[in-house]
Amino acid sequence: EHALQAAKVASHLNAFIRLTPEVALSSSNESSFRYQRRGQRSPLEGVPIAVKDNYCTKDIPTTCASKMLEKFVPTYNATVVDRLIHAGAVLLGKTNMDEFSMGSGSVESFFGPVKNVWSKDFENDNWRITGGSSGGSAVAVASGICFAAIGSDTGGSVRIPASYCGVVGLKPTYGLISRHGLIPLANSMDCPGVLANNVDDCVSVLNAISGPDDCDSTTIKEPYPKVELPFLDQINVEGIRVGIPEQCSCEGLMPEVRDTWVKIADILEDNGAQVRRVSMPNILNSIYVYSVLNQCEVASNMARYDGVEYGHRASTAASTEELYAKSRSEGFNIVVKTRILAGNYFLLKRNYDNYYIRAMKVRRMIFNDFKQVFEKDGIDVLLTPTTLTDAPLYREFVTKSNRDQCALNDLFTTPANLAGIPAVSIPIRLSSNCLPISLQLMGNTLQENLLLRVAKWIE
């Protein structure tokens, strides 16, 4: 039944690249066997979950929304997928996204853009974008067909669509969830993330998929205690120190988003939290640092797609070099090609120090800004907007150059990826356009418990 409903959403909003009813059935049978055997329930037993199409799924095509991987069928499951199935979840389908996760709108997919379920008008490109790149996962949750969905967040790709689609989007601490089987965008920033209707549901999924993994050497080795949230009436924010980074009050912030931010800060204060303005002088430089580092890592990661081992292969080529060139120029979209070019330019011997090394230094300064507020100023959580505005109209979004779009949309989200800290987007209210407005909370490394407790109180 769910698969049928999903099929409707899939075709109308283009949220799925592929539905996987066969897996849904087999994994739900398997989980009920397990249930009978163990006589106990996992919170995800029989629960429908969608997974972004950049996670490898055994015997199920995994495309990254690219022509390059249109016919790629992995021989193994990503750790996240294995753990979900082990917990009894039902894999409902693979969700649509920006090609290779490069974008902030979910409009750059080989399979066409994803449409926001909150749109009033679907005619003449008047619909709203979902945000990206995990737009399909956000719509799968916002439209009610999934309990939760898995996305990936390198610079905001879980939190931005969560914000535009009115769901909770969590990017945990780097290394808390294994990246094994997640097709990389930028390894030093990639983070699997969870989208769900509320904080408690997010936690159920997080607890099922987090923890060390021998297949990913960057996972945090010590087993980290599972997140446990008290009932809402047992949570209070008294004494919690909330930081408001003054640099985030910047040009381009929609007045209604600013008002929401101020209002929630006031409510926190009225309930006993200590709300303080903090200065993070390097935080808005994240956009530049992110661009340089992301493109450098992309240039290196994309080198594997040469049309020989796997991925798209050009049908005619006179030499090996021509085969590489043709396969790559046919297989990638313009965004991917531009990033490969830019990345290789930054990595040229003559540019390396000036771009890559310099960006790494500023990354350290951003990291130190967080260290200062969390460890020296004693801040528990930082409160910012997630995005500058509510969901843009598709027609307006695609007129600006992709670079501008990314820069604008990722302003508040990239810092957490550069520093590896956890962050969550929480829907707060509707704007006068009848679209969700969301705020972001960021916490110190491995402070998911505290972060999500405050998030649950706010939601």
Nearer to ligand GLN, 20 or 152 (CB): 152
Nearer to ligand GLN, 116 or 294 (CB): 294
* 42 classed as catalytic: no
Number of H helices, E strands in the chain: 15, 11
Residues 362 to 421 in contact with ligand GLN, rule: CB under 6 A? 406, 410
User: Is residue 157 within the footprint of ligand GLN (CB under 6 A)?
Assistant: yes
Provide, rounded to whole angstroms, the least separation between the CB of residue 168 and ligand GLN: 17
Q: Which amino acid is at 47?
A: V
Strands of the sheet containing 381-385, edge to edge, are: 16-19, 90-95, 48-52, 148-153, 191-196, 168-171, 423-430, 436-443, 381-385, 241-245, 274-278
Stretch that binds ligand GLN, among 96-104, 140-148, 362-370, 386-394 (CB under 6 A): 96-104
Residues 280 to 339 in contact with ligand GLN, rule: CB under 6 A? 294
Stretch that binds ligand GLN, among 152-160, 225-233, 275-283, 379-387 (CB under 6 A): 152-160
* 67 classed as catalytic: no
Provide, rounded to whole angstroms, the least separation between the CB of residue 188 and ligand GLN: 13
Nearer to ligand GLN, 410 or 448 (CB): 410
Q: Which of 52, 94, 115, 456 is catalytic?
A: 52
Measured CA to CA, the distance from residue 47 to residue 26 in angstroms comes to 13
Residue 6 corresponds to which tokens in the numbers above? 């999903």
Give how many residues touch ligand GLN by CB under 6 A.
14
| Token pair 């109209």: residue | 393
Task: Say if CB 459 and CB 168 are below 8 A apart.
Answer: yes
The whole-angstrom distance between residue 306's C-alpha and the CA centroid of its chain comes to 27
Q: What are phi and psi of 310, to 5 degrees?
A: -155, 175
Measured CA to CA, the distance from residue 285 to residue 294 in angstroms comes to 14
One of 156, 169, 192, 307 touching ligand GLN (CB under 6 A) = 156
Q: Which amino acid is at 226?
A: K
Measured CA to CA, the distance from residue 446 to residue 95 in angstroms comes to 28
Nearer to ligand GLN, 161 or 307 (CB): 161
Measured CA to CA, the distance from residue 323 to residue 312 in angstroms comes to 10
Provide, rounded to whole angstroms, the least separation between the CB of residue 295 and ligand GLN: 9
Residues 101 to 120 in contact with ligand GLN, rule: CB under 6 A? 101-104
| Token pair 């009920």: residue | 32
Site track 171-210 with ligand GLN (rule: CB under 6 A), x = hit: --------------x-------------------------
Q: What are phi and psi of 156, to 5 degrees?
A: 135, 5
Task: Look at residue 402 and give its three-state secondary structure.
Answer: helix
One of 66, 116, 154, 440 touching ligand GLN (CB under 6 A) = 154
C-alpha closest to that of 328 among 346, 302, 294, 347: 302
Residues 21 to 40 in contact with ligand GLN, rule: CB under 6 A? none
Provide, rounded to whole angstroms, the least separation between the CB of residue 156 and ligand GLN: 5
Q: Which residues contact 306 (CB under 8 A, 6 or more apart)?
A: 323, 324, 327, 328
Nearer to ligand GLN, 42 or 106 (CB): 106
Q: Which of 157, 327, 425, 438 is catalytic?
A: 157
Q: Which helix (H) or strand (E) holds 431?
A: none
* 133 classed as catalytic: yes
Stretch that binds ligand GLN, among 150-158, 195-203, 317-325, 431-439 (CB under 6 A): 150-158
Q: Is 336 exposed, middle or buried (0-12, 13-18, 19+ CB in 10 A)?
A: buried
User: Is residue 66 within the footprint of ligand GLN (CB under 6 A)?
Assistant: no
Given phi > 0 = left and psi -120 to 50 = alpha, else beta, which region is 19? beta
Provide, rounded to whole angstroms, the least separation between the CB of residue 227 and ligand GLN: 22
Nearer to ligand GLN, 336 or 373 (CB): 336
Measured CA to CA, the distance from residue 21 to residue 1 in angstroms comes to 10
Provide, rounded to whole angstroms, the least separation between the CB of residue 453 and ligand GLN: 25
Provide, rounded to whole angstroms, the least separation between the CB of residue 252 and ligand GLN: 16
Q: Which of 42, 106, 119, 133 is catalytic?
A: 133
Provide, rounded to whole angstroms, the least separation between the CB of residue 175 and ligand GLN: 17
Catalytic annotation, residues: 52, 133, 157
Which residues make up the interface to ligand GLN (CB under 6 A)?
Answer: 101-104, 133, 153-157, 185, 294, 406, 410
